[in-house]
Amino acid sequence: MRARENRRAPRVKRNTVLELFDGQGRQVEAVVRLVDYSVAGLRFATAAHLAPGDRVRACLSLMREGLLYVEGRVVWKRAKGSTTLYGVEFSEPPRQLAP
């Protein structure tokens, strides 16, 4: 029996590379792979080192939907093999640019 998830918003799975920037606006120099996202946050995997509380910005390419710019903070991290999964909570609603 699966545990019930307590999510605020449904997640959309997306396996794509993500452009990630730290709180000072510097691009994270590692491969960052988006796992999923929702209107409240996103989850990604990378070998880069971030800490809960770190501010980040990201640019997601959503094919036909255009580019999505998001800002938030890392709220959790979990080691998974040679990479780490991170959860980010958005600090403001995502901004979308038309394709």
> For residue range 81-91, what is the model confidence (pLDDT) as tens digits?
999 999 999 99
pLDDT of residue 2 exceeding 90? no
| DSSP character string of 11-33 | -EEEEEE-EEEETTSPBPSS-EE
Residue 71 C-beta-side C-alpha neighbours within 13 Å: 8
Domains defined for the chain, CATH in brackets: 12-97 (2.40.10.220)
What's the pLDDT tens digit per position in 43-92? 999 999 999 999 999 988 877 777 888 999 999 999 999 999 999 999 98
d(CA 11, CA 27): 25
